[in-house]
Every structure is written in C-alpha cells, then in structure tokens.
Amino acid sequence: MSNFLAPADLSKAFIGISKAKANNSIAKLFVLGILAGVFIGFAAHLATTVATGWDFGAGGAGVFGLKKFFIGSVFSVGLMLVIIPGSELFTGNNLMTIGAMNGDITWGQVLRNWAIVWFANLVGSVLLAWMIASMSGLTSGAVGATAINIAYGKVTAGGDAHTMMYFFRAIGANWLVCLAVMMAIAAKDIGGKVFAIFFPIMAFVTSGFEHSVANMYFIPAGIFSKAYAGAVAASKAGSLEALEVLNWGTMFTSNVLIVTLGNIVGGGILVGMVYWWIYVKGTKES
C-alpha cells in the first residue's frame, strides 16, 4: 500500500475537503481562522527573531542567501501548525476552487468561506502581534528594529511599481503554499507531512514572495514596535517621522489587499483550477 495519495486521487480528495469547509458553521470557521492567524504569526515572529543580527561587514551581503534560507526554514513551522493540528487558513482554502469547478459547492459558498476565514486570520494575526510586540517586550530592542524594517519594507518597497510587483510576488507565494498543502494532504504520516510542508514553504520565504496572512502579522508587529524608542532608533528609518508611512491604512492599501488578490491567483487558479482540469474534470465520482 502506498504511503501517499497519487496526484489524481489527491486532486479528487479536495472535492470532499471543499464540501466540508463550505458547510462548516460560521462560529467554527471563525475560531479555526483565528487559530491559523496565530499559528502563522508564531512562525512570523520566529522568522523575525532569526532575521536579527546578520549584518556582518558591508551590509551582510556575504550571508544574504544563507540568512534568507534560515528565515524560510523556520517559517515553515507555521503551516505545520495549521495542517497537522488543524485550522482554517485563507490561502490554503483557495484550493476550494477544485470543489467549485466540479460543481460540488457553489462559488457563493467559496466566497463565504474565504471572507470569514480571511477576517479571522487577520484577527488572530493582529492579536498575536499585539501580545508579542506590544505587551511582552520582546520587540523592544534589536528584534523590534527587525520587525519595523520588515514592515516598513512591505509598505514602501518598489515605488510606483509596488502594487504589481507585490501582486506577482503573491502569486508565487501561494502557488508554493497550495502545493505544500496538497503534498501534506497526500502524505499519510506526520513525518511525510512535515517534509511535504518544509520545502515549498522554505522556498517561498527564501525567494522573497508575499503571503497575505503572514503580512497580517509582520506589518502590525512593526506598527506596534514603533512604541519602543530603542527599536525605532535601531531601525533603518531611524525616526518616528520617517516611519509615518507605516500605519494601519498603508498595511492594507500598499500590501495586504493586493497580496490577497495575488494569493488567490496563485493558489486558486494556478494550483486549484489547473489540477481540477488535469485530474478531475470529466471523471466520474462515486
């Protein structure tokens, strides 16, 4: 007996998964969505901590790739927490397009799930960012400066090309995230699920792609860390005046909304719809 699902069986399995997600209650979806936001937030804080203290020599250029690799490696714990204990992650739920394309659920059910889970992910992510960056004191120094640098970069990088640049980065992110989800579902033991998740998630973070739920933690953590004078002074901006552009409005207008759309394209279309067309369309389901 195989210890993993073949591609055709895996793609068809998402019909049942889509039905279950579509028929879940609002209350359960919301609580599970908060949990997923928290779990991704834990990984984001871990990645922020690991990203701190790498500036060796001339801007740390000699260790840039290695630094990104370690950040991506530790971030993979987020999806492990989402998949194995179980919760509802907006980006993973983009794979519900398989069930909708097959006619087993409606597009209205898909949008209902996405809206509830997206908002719940936001609540969980911001809640954890507040707990860590505002209440625990963990971002009062160097880690806080890193949090500010990450958040500031996410709302300012690229100038006029920012929007489309982040849209395409978001496509790449959820293309890999949804492949990680599919591979984790295909694996029949925890070890297989861990390895299935690790490599695509490590790849997306190391590559510099953009994930909407991760940014729901990264940007608020930077905003909350602005309360610490030491973190602000040690950041690349260096002053609160320079950090005015980092705020709750730019979090959405400069990043999260366009990244959300790109994630839908990467996961819902380039993974979900493509695999439905290849392996499910035209087949008879019992």
DSSP string, the chain: --SB--HHHHHHHHHHHHHHHHHS-HHHHHHHHHHHHHHHHHHHHHHHHHTTT---TTTTGGGHHHHHHHHHHHHTHHHHHIIIII---HHHHGGGHHHHHTTSS-HHHHHHHHHHHHHHHHHHHHHHHIIIIIIS-TTSSHHHHHHHHHHHHHHHTTGGGHHHHHHHHHHHHHHHHHHHHHHHHHBSSHHHHHHHHHHHHHHHHHHT---HHHHHHHHHHHHHHTT-HHHHHHSSS-STTTTTT-SHHHHIIIIIHHHHHHHIIIIIIIIIIHHIIIIITTPPP-
Q: Which pair of tokens denotes residue 225? A: 């860390």
Residue-wise pLDDT for 240-257, tens only, equals: 999 999 999 999 999 999
Asked if residue 196 belongs to a domain, the reply is: yes
Render pLDDT for 115-142 as a digit per residue (tens, 0 to 9): 999 999 999 999 999 999 999 999 999 9
The answer to the question of residue 133 being in a domain is yes
pLDDT digits (tens, 9 = 90+) for 221-244: 999 999 999 999 999 998 999 999
Q: Is 2 within the bounds of a domain?
A: no
d(CA 169, CA 207): 9
Q: What is the pLDDT of residue 1?
A: 58
- Cβ neighbourhood burial of 196 (10 Å; 0-12, 13-18, 19+): buried
Residue 246's domain spans which residues?
7-280
In a domain, 194, yes or no: yes
- Domain assignment present for residue 286? The answer is no
Predicted pLDDT of residue 133: 96
CATH number, domain of 50, equals: 1.20.1080.10
* Residue with the larger pLDDT of the pair 113 and 66: 113
Assigned domain for 45 exists? yes
In a domain, 251, yes or no: yes
Q: 79: closest CA among 265, 204, 247, 165?
A: 204
What's the total number of domains in the chain? Answer: 1
* Residue 62 covered by a domain: yes
Residue % of the chain over a pLDDT of 90: 86
Each residue's pLDDT tens digit, 139-193: 999 999 999 999 999 999 766 667 899 999 999 999 999 999 999 999 999 999 9
